[in-house]
Each structure stands twice: as C-alpha cells, then as structure tokens.
C-alpha cells in the first residue's frame, strides 16, 4: 500500500492523518497515512528511514527548515519561503520539496471565506516561518499594501526586502501602527499561550476589518476573541488553511484534487463537539 506520513514533534495532536484519510475515501484512493514523531536532533534520519518505502510526507513544526535542507530539489515558492512542508519521492529516489502553506491560506480566504484581496490593505503579524510561507501568495492577490509587523523590526525589514519584487510590501514595529486595515492575519504563535500580539484596537475598523488567526481551537482563539470584542466584521481561524494546504499536497501526490469543503465541514463539526 502507498505510504504517506506527517512529521512533527509533538505530533499526537495532528489532524493531518484524518484529513488525508477523508480525502482518500472521497476520491477512491488506497493509501496509508501515519503520524511520525521525529527526533528533534535527527529529522533527516527519520525521513530517510520513512522514504526507504514511503512516497510522500507533510512536515510540521519544528522541521520545515530541516525538510528544506534535506530536499534534493525545491519549488520556487519553497525557496522563497526558505521552508518545506511537503516532500515527495520521485521515481529516481530523489526528494522534491514544496511549501503549500501560502496556497492553503489564500484558498481559505478567497474560496472558503469569499474575500477579494485585490486593492486591500493587509497586515501580517509576525515575521517567522509561518509568515514567511504565505507572503508570496498574499502579494499574488494584488493587495494595495502588505505590512509585516514584528516585535523585532529588523526581522520584518529583511522579509519585506526579500519579497519586495513581488508587490507593495513594507515592514513595521507593532507600536508603529495606527491606521485600520481591511484584513489582519495573525501569524504569531501567541494564541497558543492565550496571549495577544501587542497591537492597538484602532487597527480594526468596526464592521469592516476581517481578522484571521492561523491558530485554531474549539472556541475563539485569544486573537479572534480580542478582534470580535473590538468590532471586527468577521473572525476566521486556521482550520481551513490546514485543510487547504493538505489538499494541495494530496493533489501533487495523487494527481486528483479532493473536495476540501466537505472535509473542512466534518472537522469543524468535530472541533465544536470537542472531538
């Protein structure tokens, strides 16, 4: 049976095995997909052992840069991101790496949420790997401006310079911001600890601004609860991004695009039910 997996540490919480099982059932594909806890100090060894038989892998924290280093060839979007969340073994045994995070985010925003990002002012909070993986795709939507805000401004400035050829992107400190945005995307991990990025509520135009947290949980994330309290028109979490980036990977592995909407609906129901 064709084998696939997701690497991470920790990995027990991952919904990727369920997502790909649902994709396989829906499309009539026969495959096995397992979670693998890779050692923090030997991702390469775990990956090589898997790929002695396996065909493809998703890669989650903290191994996306390790996967980038391991791949024999990477896509241009992975090269831009400096990280890989997708590996595929080719017929000659070499490993191809890609990054589907940006495509997953934009699909969730445009197809699932129905947003038009053209000529919109977008604020991206954070300048780490999560932010780096989505900038190219956000700029591809032709926004009026994309501002990357980070506690360490120099890190945001490096990102802005790296992607400057793709569109109007600028860097900012959290405390430099004062004007409202059309869309605010939280790419920090603050919500995992129930914390907030240090930004003022004036960035939200009540009844207009949409706020998106890449994190997700049973209820509102800390960021989305804050956004709702200050009048955001809509709040969205990262569950849809997770499903959409998985659909991109499944398409490359199996040559067929699954219906992500039905799988997202199933996961959302389970999440609300506490499953």
**Placement of tokens 């995992």 in the chain:** 192
Which strand ranges, in their side-by-side order, compose the sheet holding 121-125? 169-173, 145-150, 121-125, 183-186, 210-213, 234-236
Helix (H, G, I), strand (E, B) or coil at 162: helix
Q: CA–CA separation, 107 vs 241, rounded Å?
A: 7
| Extents of the domains making up the chain | 2-99+240-272, 102-237
Rg (CA), the chain: 18
So what's the pLDDT on residue 99?
96
User: First-to-last CA distance in the chain?
Assistant: 28
Sheet of 2-8: strand order equals 31-37, 2-8, 56-59, 86-89, 95-98, 73-74
Confidence (pLDDT) at 191: 84
pLDDT at residue number 248: 96
Domain 2-99+240-272: give its CATH code.
3.40.50.10860
Q: Give the C-alpha separation, 116 to 3, whole Å.
A: 38
- The predicted pLDDT at position 26 comes to 97
Which neighbouring-strand residues pair with 6? 35, 58
Q: Tens digit of pLDDT per residue, the chain (275 long)?
A: 999 999 999 999 899 999 999 999 999 999 999 999 999 999 999 999 999 999 999 999 899 999 999 999 999 999 999 999 999 999 999 999 999 999 999 999 999 999 999 999 999 999 988 899 999 999 999 999 999 999 999 999 999 999 999 999 999 999 999 999 999 999 998 887 889 999 999 999 999 999 999 999 888 999 999 999 999 999 999 999 999 999 999 999 999 999 999 999 999 999 988 87
Which pLDDT score is estimated for 193? 83
Which pTM was predicted?
A: 0.94
**Catalytic site positions:** 64
Third-level CATH fold of 102-237: Rossmann fold (3.40.50)
130 touches 155 (CB < 8 A): no
pLDDT of residue 262: 96
238 to 45, 101, 186: CA distances (angstroms): 30, 11, 10
**Same CATH fold, 102-237 and 2-99+240-272?**
yes
């Amino acid at each position: 049976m064709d084998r696939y997996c997701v690497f991470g540490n920790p990995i027990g919480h991952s919904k990727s095995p369920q997502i790909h099982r649902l994709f396989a059932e829906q499309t009539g594909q026969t495959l096995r997909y397992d979670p693998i806890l890779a050692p923090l100090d030997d991702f390469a060894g775990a990956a090589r052992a898997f790929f002695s038989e396996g065909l493809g892998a998703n890669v989650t924290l903290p191994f996306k840069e390790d996967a980038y280093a391991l791949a024999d060839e990477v896509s241009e979007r992975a090269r831009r991101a400096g990280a890989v969340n997708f590996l595929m073994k080719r017929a000659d045994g070499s490993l191809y790496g890609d990054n589907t995070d940006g495509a997953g985010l934009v699909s969730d925003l445009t197809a699932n949420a129905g947003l038009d990002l053209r000529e919109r002012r977008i604020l991206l909070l954070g300048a780490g790997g999560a932010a780096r993986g989505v900038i190219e795709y956000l700029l591809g939507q032709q926004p009026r401006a994309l501002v990357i805000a980070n506690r360490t401004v120099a890190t945001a400035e490096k990102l802005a310079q790296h992607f400057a050829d793709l569109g109007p992107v600028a860097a900012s400190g959290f405390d430099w911001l004062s004007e409202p945005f059309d869309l605010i995307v939280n790419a920090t991990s603050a919500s995992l600890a129930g914390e907030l990025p240090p930004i003022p509520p004036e960035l939200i135009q009540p009844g207009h601004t949409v706020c998106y947290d890449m994190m997700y949980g049973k209820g509102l994330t800390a960021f989305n609860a804050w956004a709702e309290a200050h009048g955001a028109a809509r709040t969205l979490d990262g569950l849809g991004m997770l499903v959409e980036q998985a659909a991109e990977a499944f398409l490359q592995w199996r040559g067929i695009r699954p219906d992500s909407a039905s799988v997202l609906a199933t996961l959302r129901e389970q999440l609300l039910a506490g499953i």
